[in-house]
Amino acid sequence: MNDVDRFTDSLLGQRSPEPFRPDDEQVAQMRGAIELQAARLGAADALPDADFVARLGRELAAECTPPAMPLDRRANRRRVVRTAGIAAASLAAGAGIDRLVRGPAPAAPPREPGEWRTVAASKDVPEGGLREFELDTVTGFVQRTPDGLRAVSSTCTHLGCRLRLANPGRQLVCPCHNATFALTGEILHYDLPVEIPPLSVFEAREQDGDIQIYTPFERA
Amino acid sequence: MEGKSGPDWETVYRENVVWVYRLILKKVGNPADAEDLTGEVFLAVLKPLRGNANAAEIRAYLLATARTVLAAHWRRLFGREITTIGLDETTEIPDDDHRIPNGTTVPATDRRVAAILAELPERARKVLQLRFLESYSLQDAADELGVSLANVKVIQHRALRLAAQAAARIEEQA
């Protein structure tokens, strides 16, 4: 049985489908199966299972309660929900960097464990130039300005989506909720009912013809 | 900060859980994943939501979060997005749970299935009707149509692709 047949059977059996790597044609077929099955289930006016609604409601209530119990026990309460790994990790990473580089004494901030890592060759970033970089722990943009090198994270501080560079204007735009940041990390625009912090910035330096940034993470 | 309480979460949850569930079920097509992702959406919006957010802002935020959660779900499973939630997706999702009294009118969802199937050639329509409306297995559908199992699979593949195209066309016209 091929992957799309299996996918279709899992929907018809109201089960979660198994992962595979579909090609364009298979994606088109999967969309058809979802359309029909969603229509058959009456998705637009379906009612969720009452037990599920009650259980999730209790979990949210527990999350809202100030942490009277130890944090690790609170974490265990998240049974209904799978961990949303990547976004959470990116946000946690962002917070770490933020503490690192926005310390109260910029001259000699106490460094968390980390390392200098090369993100570009010096010659590839001329005066006024800009280059995107991607390390295993962080992604961002490095820029050479009249004031020197500047490196900024491209992980949105809202839910951890990766920001895109929008030209003209050299702004970083979030594809998820359209939050917009300047290359300095400053928030330019967002339309969310929540407060979000500015982007993390990195220390940057030039070393032996390379541009390096200081990241608080060890290589995987 | 601590003195000012956040939004009344029970109310936010109660007023939105059915709506979020429907929004996602429509895009994943199975209740198990719809429950998981609904939970993810609410946990994601729980903490950041401002105390003074109004109902429309909360909806917009839930919609935006559901988009992100759905996209992550598909990438996790299939390495790419299979369906997406549009920013104007909300129009056809009713808010409350008033249901049509038994048998008085044809539910909109049945009309939608019928509209999609009506656009397909005979054979494709038949195989999807057997599979999705009458719960036939592939083998049973093959027997009914008098073709081999391999053949019915090929017909189903093509039919599903055509159904997706038909659904997209219907959406555009609406």
Q: What ipTM is given for this predicted complex?
A: 0.84
Q: Which residues of B touch A174 (CB under 8 A)?
A: none
Q: Does residue A22 have a pLDDT over 60?
A: yes
- CB A59 to CB B39 under 8 A? yes
Does B21 reach chain A within 8 Å, measured CB to CB? yes
- CB A192 to CB B53 under 8 A? no
Lowest mean pLDDT of A109-118, A121-130, B9-18, name the range: A109-118
What would the two tokens of residue B106 be? 């044809």
β-sheet bridge partners, residue A165? A172
At B84 the pLDDT is 92
Distance from CA of B21 to the nearest CA of A (A): 7
Distance from CA of A210 to the nearest CA of B (A): 33
Mean pLDDT of B111-116: 84
Rounded to the nearest 10 degrees, what angle do helices A3-12 and B149-173 cross at? 70
| SS3 label, residue A213 | strand
- CB A48 to CB B17 under 8 A? yes
Mean pLDDT of A133-152: 87
Does B95 reach chain A within 8 Å, measured CB to CB? no
- CB B164 to CB A25 under 8 A? no
Contact at 8 Å (CB) between A176 and B67? Answer: yes
At B51 the pLDDT is 66
A169 or B23: which carries more pLDDT confidence?
Answer: B23
Contact at 8 Å (CB) between A81 and B40? Answer: yes
Give the highest mean pLDDT range of A41-55, B95-109, B150-164: B150-164
Q: How far is CA A18 from CA A3, A9, A25, A147, B74, in A?
A: 9, 11, 18, 52, 11
pLDDT confidence tier of residue A124, bands split at 50, 70 and 90 = confident
At A101 the pLDDT is 39
- Tally Cβ neighbours within 10 Å of residue B133: 15
Give the highest mean pLDDT range of A43-47, A213-217, B57-61, B117-121: B117-121
Q: Which residues of B touch A64 (CB under 8 A)?
A: 6, 9, 46
Q: Mean pLDDT score of chain B, rounded to an integer?
A: 83
| SS3 label, residue B80 | coil
Q: How far is CA A166 from CA A130, A173, A180, B95, in A?
A: 12, 6, 9, 36
Q: Does residue A12 have a pLDDT over 60?
A: yes
Mutate which: A35, A58, A90, vs B, most B CBs within 10 A: A35
* pTM to 2 decimal places: 0.58
Q: Of B101, B120, B104, B123, give the one whose Cα is nearest residue B167.
A: B120
Instruction: Report the residue from A20, A27, A41 with minimal CB separation from B25.
Output: A41
% chain B with pLDDT above 90: 53
Q: Does residue B88 have a pLDDT over 80?
A: no
What would the two tokens of residue A147 be? 């004031």
At A79 the pLDDT is 34
Phi/psi class of residue A14: alpha, beta or left (left: φ > 0; alpha: ψ in -120 to 50)? left
- CB A29 to CB B80 under 8 A? no
Q: Does residue B40 have a pLDDT over 50?
A: yes
pLDDT confidence tier of residue B100, bands split at 50, 70 and 90 = very low
Q: Does residue A137 have a pLDDT over 80?
A: no
% chain A with pLDDT above 90: 28
Q: Does residue B53 have a pLDDT over 80?
A: no
At A112 the pLDDT is 61
Those residues whose C-beta lies under 8 Å from the C-beta of residue A85, and which sit 6 or more positions away, are: none
A86 or A195: which carries more pLDDT confidence?
Answer: A195
At B111 the pLDDT is 76
- CB B38 to CB A42 under 8 A? no
Distance from CA of B52 to the nearest CA of A (A): 9
Does B29 reach chain A within 8 Å, measured CB to CB? yes
Task: List strands edge to edge, sheet with A201-202.
Answer: A130-134, A139-145, A148-153, A201-202
- CB A52 to CB B53 under 8 A? no
Mean pLDDT of B73-101: 76
pLDDT confidence tier of residue A218, bands split at 50, 70 and 90 = low
A28-47 pLDDT per residue, tens: 999 999 999 988 888 777 88
In terms of CA atoms, which chain A residue is nearest residue B69?
A84
- CB B157 to CB A29 under 8 A? yes
